[in-house]
Structure 1
């Protein structure tokens, strides 16, 4: 069976990616990251999601906290949603570069054909590492910087949500039976989601536009 490494945060988008990869016949090898994020409860949920799909070899990678973000520095408050596309203080420096690099190494080790990541160029909160330009550039790195790439068996970076709105993502996951009840999105990382951070606002708006009920608990 073909294999895919899925970047699994425990959030809505990455869980949708698990559903998409499963539906496309991949054997799932999720990888999650402990980077001292404020919302660390997502890691426990990522494990539940991996178990839900009977995934193989779920890895949780511990990384040094480099700071510089409201998600990793407890002295910086998580801001309320502003609705613009300025790069927000919740941006974690070079996060997706680091995540994809780890995932790429794992993919080479297990002989995976693909890496699946849930970036979106539509509802992306202004993060530069969620844009098509970044994915295209990283694919070039894969092609020229790995044994698989130079041997003509390059690992494909798959972005099934790249052109979808949050509502379209939710509709897709709902059709595929994604376990959204096991997910979390809130940047504050509490048991009850805050409703006001970027991630909560985009999630709630997405469920409303999709005309579906969000199964998680909010304040």
Structure 2
């Protein structure tokens, strides 16, 4: 079976794309990041909750605040990337629901008034949006190196002191350097991951 997406686009998003470990020094503009977000924001989340927040850090003071909070092995990659995005969950996403889901005006309180439900849904739907965002970066012809090797609680305190956001992933973004990609690690075969009942 063939897919509707042409093979070159499939290669760009999946087959030829890898987690990038190094980048050129070519900058990535704010407009490019906004264009990526404007594409991926259209992908689905439950009740259009859209809890992903993207905090873009470039070289300079913001990057210097982040580096001590990143695992030692990841620091050189973060320091050298044109930009690093903190991908975080807005734990108060429900406040935007009157705008995002006007057809259900009581959704904010009826479903998401409970803090425990709200937090679990924020994390679930941010996870979805992070995947979309990483593919959006690839769709823009850029490379991305997502990582979890950082002190998330310290990042939250440093960058989101009000407790409204929870950082989940750091993503280095840029144009891939010639040595950006290592060998692709194995993946599970379809019959190992899919169960039909």
TM-score after normalising by structure 1: 0.27
Higher relative contact order (CA 8 A, sep 6+): 2
- Higher share of residues assigned helix: 2
Q: Which of the two has higher C-alpha Rg?
A: 2
- Higher share of residues assigned strand: 2
